[in-house]
Structure formats: C-alpha cells, structure tokens
Homo-oligomer: A and B are copies of this chain.
Amino acid sequence: MENYLIEEDSPGISDVPGFLVAGSACDIRNKGNSEQLDIALIYSEKPCAGAAVFTQNVVKAAPVRHGQAILKAGGPIHGIVANSGNANACTGQAGIDDTYAMARVAAEGFKKLPESFFVCSTGRIGERLPMQKVENGIRDAVERASSTPEEGRRAAAAILTSDTHSKTITVRFSHNGKKITVAGIAKGAGMIQPNMATMLAFLATDAAVEPSLLQKILSEAVRLTFNRITVDGDMSTNDTVLALANGESGVSIDESDRAGLDVFAGAVRKVCDFLAEKIVSDGEKITKVVEVLVEGAASEEDAEKVARAIGNSLLVKTSWYGNDPNWGRLADAAGYSGADFDDRKFDIYYADVPAVIAGEPCVENREKWKEIVRAKRFPITVRLNVPGGNGSFRLLATDLTEDYVRFNKSE
C-alpha cells in the first residue's frame, strides 16, 4: 500500500522544495486601493518538465494559446504567472500581446526567457487587461517570491474569483528512501463543467519526470477528476490544469520503475481528486453536492451521457435544492440523454434505497428518499441494466439555487 502523508488545506505550492511563490494585489478589478490579491506567481530556478490540460472550448483565451505554443515548443519551464479578475478572452491580437507581456515581465525578473512561463487568466471575458497595473503587480510578485507558507497561501488566494475559499493540498510520500512532494492549488466557482471548468489548477512536484510521462499522468488524473464535475454545465474559455516537475528531490519517476510510477501517479491523482471535490463543493451559491453514479450502460460514453444529463438538468438540480426526491425528473433526463436503454428495465437508488426498480417506483420508500435528499451530500445510482453492459461513470454535480441566478444576473 502507498503511504501518503496528506495535508489538506496546506500552504500549497510553497511546500514543494525548489519552488518560490508569491501573491500580489494590483487592483485588476478597479476597486480603487483594493487589497484583493490578483496576481499569483510560481517559480522554480531549476528548469521543470511541464504538462498541461487545456479547455476544449473552440473559443480559447489568449493565455491558453500561449500555453499550447509553449508546450509544443518543448523548452524548459520555469514557472507560471496568473491573474484573476479578467479572463483575457476574446481580446484578439492585443490580448495575445498582453499575455506575452505577462510572461516577459515575470521571466525578466528571474533572467529567464518569456517562453519558459505559462500564463493563466480568469475572470470576465472580452475586456483588455489593465497592463500597467498587471506589470507592476508581477514585478511586486517577483520581489516577494519565496517558499514561506504565507506566500504559498497568498498565491492560492490570488487566483480565486467567486470562490469562497482557497483550495490547496500537499501530498508527501517516500520512494527508495527519498522524500517526494506533490502539491496543488485550484480555483473554481462558476462556468464549471470542466472538460475543463473555469477552473485553474496548478500542481508542482520535486520529482524528476520526463515531460511526456508527466503529461500522460496528468491527463489521466484530469480525466478521472476535474472532468467529472459539473456546477452549471458551462465550459470556460480559460480552463487550465498545469503541472511542473523540477526534479529537486533527486528521485526520477519513469516507466522502468513501476512502483515509483504508481506511487507518484497516485499522489497526482489524490491532489486532483481533492481539488476537484473542493471546486464542486464551493460551486457558486450551491447548497448540495450529489454524486451521480451510472452503471450497467452499454458503454462508458453512454453512462457519461446519462450522468451529465442528470447533473445538468435544471429541473433535477432545483428539486435537489428543494429537498425533493423527484426521481421522475431523473428518469426523464436519463431518457433524453441519448444513451440507449430500456425504460422498463432501469433502476434508481438514493444511497442504497431503491426508488425505481425495472422502471416502476418503489413508493413505499418515499420517506426514506426524502431523508437522504435532505443531506448536504448524497449519492444517487442509476442502473441502466443494458444486457451485458458494464459502462459506468461517476459525476459530482450540484444543486441550483435562487442565489445562483441572483448572483449571475450581472457580474
């Protein structure tokens, strides 16, 4: 068994040897003398292997295009500079220039190349960044950069938008007698159906990993974690998960050492899993997290269709909010999901209490369903019972509240 030392709500990236971090405030939101942190910086003097998973949205923010270019170029990575309060999306060539300037100013601070810095932005779409402020903010961050827990926490706070709290985790473990650390920070809140969500997540580790292997490990972890949550079904223009590995621990992770690979991939998975759960449970104005499990589908794709149709149905989400075990709306959503099944053979369970067996309601359990749905977090299982079907999918979804509507009326 792997032996992980897990620190939830840790200082984050500053826990990883060889990384300096900082959080600065430069008033991107134009609130006057704001003390709201809005610039995060992550830096490793040692060159890092980098891996990334970006939004699949056709409309990609400038920083996403920059990140894709950097990754393709394959050079060494030294860090990440990120801002909140403005997404730098749909800003044309000027936005691309602004992104490059962010990378350049950060890199200059450490005498590195602009192509060695990832850039991330999150916030409102369609407005130019106030570059004078941003550049000053980045310069301030370069000066502050350190490995103190305080700066670690400031960096984690600086990427937040409508999140109510920071999302951080540190996982430590030993391999061949040497210590390895994997830490991560993330932001979520709205426009969340990653694949990706307006979510950003940054992971750092002191393991030594080749870029292609790091990419493989990260992609798989993202597929099973961040890509299986939904708040409002909206996929953002800026979603990005980045991982940097600087090798500071002196431990190499490669495919020739299966045990090392497994324990490292497990740690990355734990970090992603924790941050994904944190993002969904801090979704905009939600009151509940529902784990939707679909089983017995003809394929994983079909199971996913059913889970997403349920998790994104307005009628299902509002009934959860109202503590109403309205399984009819669940059945309806499953039925229009596009997945293939027989409506006289499917089952629905609230936790382990049957609500529908073979397409017909178990009305005698009504009071039990009601009790389960009152919880802040509960599982629902939909068994499609397709002959020979073993496709399954797990989605973390949320309810939909009046406060979500009120909050998003304008921003």
Q: Do A360 and B314 have beta carbons less than 8 Å apart?
A: no
Query: Would A405 and B402 be within 8 Å (CB), given that A57-B335, A92-B360 are in contact?
Result: yes
A232 partner residues in chain B, CB cutoff 8 A: 314-315
Cα distance A60–B344 in the bound complex, in angstroms:
10
A167 to chain B: closest CB distance in Å? 21
Contacting chain B: which of A42-50, A70-78, A216-224, A234-242?
A234-242
Digit string of A325-365 for contact with B (CB within 8 Å is 1, else 0)? 01111011111100111111000000000001011110100
- Name the interface residues of A66-104: CB closer than 8 Å to any CB of B: 87, 89-92
A69 to chain B: closest CB distance in Å? 15
Contacting chain B: which of A148-156, A173-181, A256-264, A316-324?
A316-324
Cα distance A89–B323 in the bound complex, in angstroms:
22
A124 to chain B: closest CB distance in Å? 6
Q: Do B405 and A332 have beta carbons less than 8 Å apart?
A: no
Q: Do A124 and B57 have beta carbons less than 8 Å apart?
A: no
* CB-based nearest B residue for A327: B126
Most buried by B among A126, A322, A339, A363: A126
Q: Do B235 and A410 have beta carbons less than 8 Å apart?
A: no
Contact of A235 among B237, B322, B336 (CB under 8 A): B336
Q: Do A57 and B332 have beta carbons less than 8 Å apart?
A: yes
* CB-based nearest B residue for A320: B409
Q: Is A406 an interface residue (CB 8 A)?
A: yes
Q: Is A30 an interface residue (CB 8 A)?
A: no
Q: Is A401 an interface residue (CB 8 A)?
A: yes
Contact of A331 among B90, B321, B335 (CB under 8 A): B90
A402 partner residues in chain B, CB cutoff 8 A: 402, 405-406
Digit string of A383-411 for contact with B (CB within 8 Å is 1, else 0)? 00000000000000000111011101111
Contact of A324 among B236, B313, B404, B410 (CB under 8 A): B410
Q: Is A114 an interface residue (CB 8 A)?
A: no
A400 partner residues in chain B, CB cutoff 8 A: 314, 405
A411 partner residues in chain B, CB cutoff 8 A: 319, 324, 326
A401 partner residues in chain B, CB cutoff 8 A: 405
Q: Is A299 an interface residue (CB 8 A)?
A: no
* CB-based nearest B residue for A59: B335
Q: Do B410 and A326 have beta carbons less than 8 Å apart?
A: yes
Q: Do A318 and B58 have beta carbons less than 8 Å apart?
A: no
Q: Do B331 and A237 have beta carbons less than 8 Å apart?
A: yes
Q: Is A191 an interface residue (CB 8 A)?
A: yes
Contact of A58 among B92, B191, B313, B336 (CB under 8 A): B336
Q: Is A249 an interface residue (CB 8 A)?
A: no
A89 partner residues in chain B, CB cutoff 8 A: 328, 331-332
Contact of A328 among B90, B322, B360 (CB under 8 A): B90
A329 partner residues in chain B, CB cutoff 8 A: 125, 191, 234
Question: 7 tightest CB-CB pairs across the interface, nearest first?
Answer: A125-B328, A322-B409, A59-B335, A235-B336, A318-B408, A92-B360, A57-B335
Residues of A bordering B, CB below 8 Å: 55-60, 87, 89-92, 124-127, 190-191, 232-237, 312-315, 318-319, 321-324, 326-329, 331-336, 339-344, 356, 358-361, 363, 400-402, 404-406, 408-411
30 pairs, CB–CB < 8 Å, chain A vs chain B: A58-B334, A58-B336, A58-B343, A59-B334, A59-B336, A89-B328, A91-B361, A92-B344, A92-B359, A124-B328, A125-B328, A125-B329, A125-B332, A126-B331, A233-B312, A233-B314, A234-B314, A234-B315, A235-B332, A236-B332, A237-B332, A237-B335, A314-B408, A315-B408, A319-B411, A321-B405, A322-B410, A323-B410, A324-B411, A404-B405
